[in-house]
């Protein structure tokens, strides 16, 4: 194998690609060729690095130097300074927000320092399209161990003992699921990898599939041996083209190398995988709906029991696990259940990936040990709220999760604590909100998502989410009644109670948690017709502050509806009857002369 003195690891996750990381890679390659360094330096496209906020990202190994927010213009300078003269470029490094000091090494950056990488251990390190690189980092070692040296029962015992729980949301012990399926007599048995990630703001599964597809594949082969399956399906959303492409490459490479297909590693065990593209319905992530979707029927959940482990795909025993769960399995087999046991809390073992998004300084993908507090994630890894705003809430667990307030920041992140607080682990979306967020508006947003994504089978879920949306929408428009809150609570509880699947059973959470922790905001909307955060359009109005307005006309130019009057150097005026309350004028004003008024009750016209 060819030796290089340096590797440039260009992040090629979806986030960085959309910021132009392929162009950076191209420019780097050209520049290296120009300087005749092609035999000394290699450029590698890796999976998602996690720090999506700072893309495009390039890591220089072996020094471990982290470059962020690169532009094509920076490339010649970077190559010359760092690779020729050996001087890392300070102005392209991450700068600490407080001390304004550049941090050269990736491991010293706050965002990376507190993370514990197990599932994402290969992120930003290997080229996901090359099986050799995965194998070089102990890849397929666990599979070889499981296929040649372990009985199915031993594998199941190992997973059971490790305490691994499903990462898809509900947290059912994976070992128990496998054991239930293994003891079924019917054949053939099937495996499914659930990659139908539909939560707004979540990209955990996508990143795992993009950064380390072989880990998922390896986990599935181990699972297949444990339960005696010969065929597996990987269900990936059609909206994830990069993940689909990399998984296809991974499967083809594994088949070529005898790691998938007939007689894997000469052990006599056969297993093959097929990719199924989902059409993107959120409810397809529910396991019985996903099975229906794989079978080619409309994705509609059905009553469990019988569980898929007894009667699943085409009526045969089937194990369905989430992408993250499958990618954890090889690590447990390779390093042993004892090691995995040592991570996390009493009931929740191991690590969990979260997509940290919203009003947070360091947006990105983080993998943290279970039991870490929300404060450590938001303020430690996330770097707090930008623009010196105050933290208001964090929404955990996808659309049907819950909003937790500041007083719960010291809550440990594990399955039980989150459920007790009214939220849930879910698949790992974490949306941080600052004090400019209206919680009623947030509840409205998630209800709108749910009413659209409910499959529509159960009256409780279909009608319940629609009616809750209607009520919350009326509240945000200043048409709320005092009786609405009791009604909402009743409806949310019954929707949770009477619905069949996980979607309906959690659909009341956005309403229940916002009512539980932010009731005063609902009351302000209903009683005072006032939106405390200044978000709900019907309850605010934009005005020009005469003492601050310089008459620069930038608001006038920004207004899409031509409702701002005023000549140059004159105080401007907003025509309230024409104003559509888009807030463009406020954004455009450099002198903070435009304000949304929300203090007194504003007449609803």
Q: Which residues, 467 to 506, sit near another protein by CB under 8 A?
A: 467, 470, 487, 490-491, 494, 497-500
Contact indicator for 11, 124 with CB cutoff of 8 Å: yes
CB of 374 to another protein, least distance (A): 25
Q: How far is the CB of 453 from another protein (least distance, A)?
A: 6
Cβ atoms of residues 595 and 549 within 8 Å: no
Virtual CA dihedral for 99, 104, 108, 110, nearest 10 degrees?
50
Closest CB to another protein among residues 241, 306: 306
Interface with another protein (CB under 8 A), residue from 458, 512, 544, 585: 458
The answer to whether 281 contacts another protein (rule: CB under 8 A) is yes
Of 340 and 446, which CB lies nearer to another protein in the complex structure? 446
Residues near 458 by beta carbon (within 8 Å), at least 6 away in sequence: 498, 499, 500, 501, 504
Q: Which DSSP category does 264 fall into?
A: E
Using DSSP's 3-state secondary structure scheme, residue 169 falls into coil
If binding is defined by CB under 8 A, does position 288 make contact with another protein?
no
Of 121-129, 179-187, 296-304, 564-572, the window that binds another protein (rule: CB under 8 A) is 296-304
CB of 235 to another protein, least distance (A): 18
Residue 138 to residue 135: CA distance in whole angstroms: 5
Closest approach, Cβ 457 to another protein, in A, equals: 5
Q: Which is nearer to another protein, 213 or 399 (CB)?
A: 399
Taking a C-beta distance cutoff of 8 angstroms, is the pair 17, 53 a contact? no
Which span sits near another protein by CB under 8 A: 159-167, 178-186, 466-474, 575-583? 466-474
* Residue 453 binds to another protein (criterion: CB under 8 A): yes
Q: What is the DSSP letter of 539?
A: G
Shortest distance, position 451 Cβ to another protein, whole Å: 5
What are the beta bridge partners of residue 231? 190, 272
The answer to whether residue 306 forms part of the interface with another protein (CB under 8 A) is: yes
Q: Which is nearer to another protein, 483 or 567 (CB)?
A: 483
Told to check if 332 binds another protein by CB under 8 A, we report no
Stretch that binds another protein, among 169-177, 251-259, 457-465, 551-559 (CB under 8 A): 457-465
Q: Are the CB atoms for 126 and 250 separated by under 8 Å? A: no
Please tell me the count of residues contacting another protein according to CB under 8 A. Answer: 33
Pairing of strands 391-396, 429-434: antiparallel
> Does 426 sit near another protein (CB under 8 A)?
no
> Nearer to another protein by C-beta: 141 or 484?
484
Cα–Cα distance, 575 to 384 (Å, whole number): 38
Q: Which residues 34-73 are close enough to bind another protein by CB under 8 A?
A: none
Check binding of 296 to another protein (CB under 8 A).
Answer: no
Strand (E) or helix (H) holding 210: helix 204-211
Select the span of 142-150, 169-177, 366-374, 450-458 touching another protein (CB under 8 A). Answer: 450-458
Alpha-carbon span 117 to 225, nearest angstrom: 26
Q: How many angstroms separate the Cα of 352 from the Cα of each of 121, 171, 542, 572?
A: 12, 11, 43, 52
- Angstrom distances, CA of residue 602 to CA of 122, 303, 596, 605: 55, 49, 12, 9
CB of 199 to another protein, least distance (A): 16
Chain residues that interact with another protein, rule: CB under 8 A: 281, 283, 298, 300, 302-303, 305-306, 451-460, 462-467, 470, 487, 490-491, 494, 497-500
């Amino acid at each position: 194998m060819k030796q290089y003195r340096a590797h440039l690891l260009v992040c090629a996750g979806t986030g960085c690609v959309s910021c132009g990381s392929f162009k950076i890679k191209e420019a780097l390659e050209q520049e290296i060729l120009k300087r005749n360094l092609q035999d000394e330096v290699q450029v590698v496209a890796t999976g998602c690095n996690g720090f999506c906020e700072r893309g495009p990202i390039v890591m220089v190994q072996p020094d471990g130097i982290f470059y962020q927010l690169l532009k094509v213009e920076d490339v010649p300078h970077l190559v010359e300074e760092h690779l020729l003269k050996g001087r890392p470029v300070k102005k392209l490094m991450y700068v600490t927000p407080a001390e304004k000091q550049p941090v050269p090494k990736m491991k010293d950056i706050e965002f990376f320092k507190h993370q514990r990488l197990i599932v994402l251990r290969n992120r930003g390190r290997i080229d996901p399209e090359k099986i050799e690189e995965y194998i070089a980092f102990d890849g397929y070692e666990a599979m070889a161990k499981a296929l040649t040296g372990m009985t199915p029962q031993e594998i199941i015992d190992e997973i059971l003992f490790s305490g691994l729980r499903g990462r898809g949301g509900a947290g059912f012990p994976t070992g128990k699921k496998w054991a239930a399926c293994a003891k079924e007599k019917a054949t053939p048995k099937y495996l499914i990898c659930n990659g139908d990630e539909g939560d707004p703001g979540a990209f955990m599964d996508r990143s795992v599939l993009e950064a380390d597809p072989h880990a998922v594949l390896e986990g599935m082969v181990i699972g297949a041996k444990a339960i005696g399956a010969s065929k597996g399906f990987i269900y990936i959303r059609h909206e994830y083209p990069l993940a689909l492409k990399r998984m296809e490459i991974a499967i083809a490479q594994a088949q070529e190398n005898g790691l998938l297909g007939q007689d894997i590693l000469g052990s006599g065990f056969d297993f093959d995988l097929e990719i199924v593209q989902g059409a993107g319905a959120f409810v397809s992530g529910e396991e019985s709906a996903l099975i229906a979707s794989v079978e080619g029927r409309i994705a509609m959940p059905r009553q469990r029991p019988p569980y898929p482990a007894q009667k699943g795909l085409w009526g045969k025993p089937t194990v369905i696990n989430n992408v993250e769960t499958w990618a954890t399995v090889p690590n447990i087999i390779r390093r042993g259940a004892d090691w995995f046991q040592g991570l996390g809390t009493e009931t929740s073992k191991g690590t969990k990936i979260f997509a940290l998004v919203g009003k947070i300084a360091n947006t990105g993908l983080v993998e943290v040990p279970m039991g870490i507090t929300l404060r450590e994630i938001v303020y430690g890894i996330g770097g707090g709220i930008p623009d010196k705003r105050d933290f208001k809430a964090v929404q955990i667990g996808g659309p049907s999760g819950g909003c937790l307030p500041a007083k719960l920041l010291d809550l440990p992140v594990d399955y039980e604590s989150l459920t007790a607080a009214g939220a849930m682990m879910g698949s790992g979306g974490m949306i941080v909100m600052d004090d400019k967020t209206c919680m009623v508006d947030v509840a409205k947003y998630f209800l709108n998502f749910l009413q659209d994504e409910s499959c529509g089978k159960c009256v409780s879920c279909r009608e319940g989410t629609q009616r809750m949306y209607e009520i919350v929408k009326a509240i945000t428009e200043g048409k709320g009644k005092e009786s609405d809150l009791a009604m909402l609570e009743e409806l949310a509880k019954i929707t949770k109670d009477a619905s069949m699947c996980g979607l309906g059973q959690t659909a009341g959470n956005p309403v229940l948690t916002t009512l539980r922790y932010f009731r005063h905001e609902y009351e302000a909307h209903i009683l005072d017709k006032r939106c405390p955060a200044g978000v709900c359009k019907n309850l605010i109005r934009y005005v020009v502050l005469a003492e601050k307005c310089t008459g620069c006309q930038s608001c006038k130019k920004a207004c899409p509806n031509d409702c701002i009057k005023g000549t140059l150097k004159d105080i401007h005026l907003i025509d309230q009857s024409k104003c559509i309350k888009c807030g463009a004028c406020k954004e455009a004003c450099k002198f903070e002369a435009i304000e949304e008024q929300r203090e007194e009750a504003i007449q609803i016209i």
